[in-house]
């Protein structure tokens, strides 16, 4: 699987001709998606022939009402464990939103740029 993934690095997994999608579906690897807005780790099987084509139930299977206590717990974790610059950026964004400042200006004010 690693050979297939490396050979298709940079291609979209959603490209119908990309063999990496099938390779991942067959191998059920742990998956990590890292984007500008966060990191997601998935450690469950992908729906395939041996699961009857159904992915296991997970958080994506049901909607939840917003829980202010869960949100507060996450904010505590974010402050403790996030990359050092992210709580600073978060505060700058929230302050900027409250003052209606453009996002590019906020990033330049805190010295963070995005490619």
pLDDT tens digits for 7-24?
Answer: 999 999 888 899 998 888
Q: In angstroms, rounded to a whole number, what is the distance separating the alpha carbons of residues 115 and 6?
A: 23
How many domains, in total, are found in the chain? 2
- Kindly report the pTM of this predicted structure: 0.38
Residue 106 lies in a domain: yes
58 located within any domain? no
In a shared domain, residues 45 and 74: no
Taking alpha carbons only, the member of 102, 75, 104, 105 closest to residue 90 is 75
State the residue range of the domain holding 103: 67-115
Task: Please check whether residue 15 lies inside any domain of the structure.
Answer: yes
- Are residues 48 and 26 in contact, defined by beta-carbon separation less than 8 angstroms? yes
Q: Give yes or no: residues 49 and 71 share one domain.
A: no
- Give the contacts of 101 (CB within 8 A, at least 6 positions apart): 95
* Any domain includes 59: no
* 49 and 5 inside one domain: yes
Residue 104 binned pLDDT confidence (cut-offs 50, 70, 90): low
């Amino acid at each position: 699987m690693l050979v297939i993934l490396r050979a298709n690095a940079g291609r979209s997994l959603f490209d119908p001709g990309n063999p990496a999608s099938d390779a991942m579906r067959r191998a059920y690897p742990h998956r990590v998606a890292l984007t500008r807005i966060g990191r997601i780790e998935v450690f469950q099987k992908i729906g395939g022939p041996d699961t009857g084509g159904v992915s296991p139930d997970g958080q994506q299977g049901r909607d939840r009402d917003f829980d202010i206590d869960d949100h507060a717990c996450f904010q505590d974790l974010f402050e403790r464990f996030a990359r050092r610059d992210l709580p600073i950026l978060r505060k700058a964004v929230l302050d900027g939103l409250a003052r209606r400042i453009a996002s590019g200006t906020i990033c330049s004010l805190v010295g963070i740029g995005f490619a």
